[in-house]
């Protein structure tokens, strides 16, 4: 199935929810054939990405006038949820690319001069990665001002899709790290002089994401390529926009893993597991409702403020917590066969453990809600 024609300037028909879910299922079936090998060897889900490029999956969110399908955030939640049902690694990896595409769409609507060119490159095959998981509010990477721009130096971890990405959305602190310093945000090509990938990804779960380290050694970033700034230690500016677009898609990817585990457990269930199956199904439905409701609540052009952040992070918190609970129940329903390394349930058990690590963590989300309530 291909939603887009060979000509990237033409969409075959108006995009529907059913379209994106069907396409995600097809990508998932390709990924699932190779998931066990990539999980065993901690290698990247290459076959899934080959299929995604061919079918236009990675340009779903690019506006139609720039060669994409114009998928909404809601449609991407549905797509990533379906993809996660088949392959957690493919879903989480592509989530990093999709949410950055949505960020560029948000920037384009606000007149950012570079956003349209970035989206056109995505339509042409560019894959975007992020170092947000390691940078967060207080990056250790430093920026040194030089003529015409800055030199970025430091080490980034958790850079999903590192083997295939063309650019990484990253940041560095200008001046001595600490209160009063300024953080610069920019996209850095992985082909730039001074950028190297260090293959460090050997983890409990999500092993096929190849989320290796990136080392930046005096990488020159032109001044005009700085996409925005924020105060050191604050979740604001470009990082806030990124977090808002990341949360619903990440929650959907992990919840999709749990949905796949539930399907597998149901196929193995004994008559006495009726209540447990009902418990899994209920948790999955309510968590997906939460993700979709959060996206509906913030609207198609969300404000970059704490109210929006609270809405999407609450939904993500619920999704990743329920994903763990559902997979735990799934193993009980399936019984001893799920304990073997060859079982998809064993892999799902490990994959969903990654959900709560993504910021905001479940506890940090509660602190945000409580602080705002007491303010």
Q: How many CB atoms lie within 10 A of CB 136?
A: 15
122 domain residue, yes or no:
yes
Q: Are residues 135 and 253 in the same domain?
A: no
61 domain residue, yes or no:
yes
The number of residues in the chain equals 375
Q: Give the model's pLDDT for residue 133.
A: 78
CATH number, residue 29: 1.10.540.10
What share of the chain has pLDDT > 90, as a percent?
93
10 domain residue, yes or no:
no
Average of per-residue pLDDT across 44-65: 98
Query: Which of 62, 93, 126 delimits the end of a domain?
Result: 126
pLDDT tier, 248 (very low <50, low <70, confident <90, very high otherwise): very high
Domain total of the chain: 3
8 A C-beta contact, residue 59 and residue 80: no
Query: Which residue's structure tokens are 């059913």?
Result: 18
Dist. CA 2–CA 188, nearest whole Å:
30
- Helices 344-351 + 306-334 axis angle, to 10: 150
| Largest separation between any pair of C-alpha atoms in the chain | 72
Query: Which of 178, 203, 231 delimits the end of a domain?
Result: 231
CATH number, residue 148: 2.40.110.10
Q: Give the model's pLDDT for residue 4.
A: 58
Is it the case that residue 12 has pLDDT exceeding 60? Answer: no
CA proximity to 98, closest of 132, 137, 130:
130
Q: Are residues 105 and 192 in the same domain?
A: no
8 A C-beta contact, residue 3 and residue 19: yes
Give the SS3 label for residue 267.
Answer: helix
- Helices 237-268 + 274-298 axis angle, to 10: 160
Residues ≥6 apart with Cβ < 8 Å to 352: 88, 205, 254, 257, 258, 261, 320, 323, 324, 327
CATH number, residue 336: 1.20.140.10
Q: Are residues 101 and 181 in the same domain?
A: no
Q: Give the model's pLDDT for residue 2.
A: 63
4 domain residue, yes or no:
no
Q: Are residues 224 and 241 in the same domain?
A: no
Q: For the ranges 6-15, 193-202, 356-365, which has the lowest average pLDDT? A: 6-15
12 domain residue, yes or no:
no
211 domain residue, yes or no:
yes
CA proximity to 78, closest of 298, 331, 248:
248
Is it the case that residue 7 has pLDDT exceeding 70? Answer: no
Q: Give the model's pLDDT for residue 271.
A: 87
Average pLDDT, the chain: 95
pLDDT tier, 13 (very low <50, low <70, confident <90, very high otherwise): low
Q: Are residues 201 and 299 in the same domain?
A: no
CA proximity to 162, closest of 133, 139, 120, 204:
133
Q: Give the model's pLDDT for residue 283.
A: 98
175 domain residue, yes or no:
yes
Tens of pLDDT, residue by residue over 263-312, are 999 999 988 999 999 999 999 999 999 999 999 999 999 999 999 999 99
Q: For the ranges 2-6, 66-70, 133-137, 325-329, which has the lowest average pLDDT? A: 2-6
Is it the case that residue 11 has pLDDT exceeding 50? Answer: no
Dist. CA 113–CA 226, nearest whole Å:
12
Which residues form the domain of 344? 237-374
Q: Give the model's pLDDT for residue 225.
A: 96
8 A C-beta contact, residue 141 and residue 172: yes
Q: Give the model's pLDDT for residue 304.
A: 98
Is it the case that residue 6 has pLDDT exceeding 50? Answer: no
Q: Give the model's pLDDT for residue 8.
A: 45
């Amino acid at each position: 199935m291909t939603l887009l024609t060979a000509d990237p300037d033409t969409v075959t028909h108006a995009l529907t929810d059913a379209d994106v879910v069907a396409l995600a299922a097809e990508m998932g079936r390709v990924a699932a054939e190779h998931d066990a090998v990539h999980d065993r060897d901690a290698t990247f889900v290459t076959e899934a990405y080959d299929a995604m490029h061919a079918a236009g999956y990675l340009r779903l969110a690019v506006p139609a006038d720039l060669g994409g399908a114009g998928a909404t955030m809601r449609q991407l939640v549905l797509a990533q949820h379906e993809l996660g049902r088949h392959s957690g690694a493919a879903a989480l990896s592509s989530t990093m690319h999709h949410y950055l595409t949505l960020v560029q769409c948000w920037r384009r609507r606000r007149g950012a001069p570079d956003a349209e060119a970035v989206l056109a490159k995505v339509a042409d095959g560019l894959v975007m990665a992020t170092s947000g998981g390691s940078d967060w509010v207080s990056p250790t990477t430093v920026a040194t001002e030089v003529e015409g721009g800055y030199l970025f130096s430091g080490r980034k971890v958790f850079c999903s899709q590192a083997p295939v990405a063309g650019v990484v959305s990253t940041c560095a602190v200008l001046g001595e790290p600490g209160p009063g310093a300024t953080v610069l945000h920019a996209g850095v090509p992985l082909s730039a002089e001074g950028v190297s990938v260090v293959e460090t990804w050997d983890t409990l779960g999500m092993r096929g994401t190849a989320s290796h380290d990136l080392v930046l050694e005096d990488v020159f970033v032109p001044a005009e390529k700085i996409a925005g700034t924020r105060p050191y230690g604050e979740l604001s500016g470009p990082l806030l926009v990124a977090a808002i677009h990341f949360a619903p898609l990440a929650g959907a990817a992990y919840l999709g893993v749990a949905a796949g585990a539930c399907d597998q457990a149901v196929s193995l269930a004994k008559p006495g597991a009726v209540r447990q199956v009902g418990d899994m199904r209920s948790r999955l439905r309510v968590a997906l409702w939460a993700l979709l409701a959060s996206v509906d609540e913030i609207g198609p052009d969300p404000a970059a403020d704490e109210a929006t952040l609270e809405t999407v992070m609450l939904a993500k918190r619920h999704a990743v917590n329920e994903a763990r609970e559902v997979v735990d129940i799934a193993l009980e329903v399936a019984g001893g066969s799920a304990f073997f390394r060859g079982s998809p349930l064993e892999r799902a058990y490990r994959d969903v453990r990654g959900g709560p690590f993504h910021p905001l963590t479940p506890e940090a989300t509660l602190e945000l809600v409580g602080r705002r309530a007491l303010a």
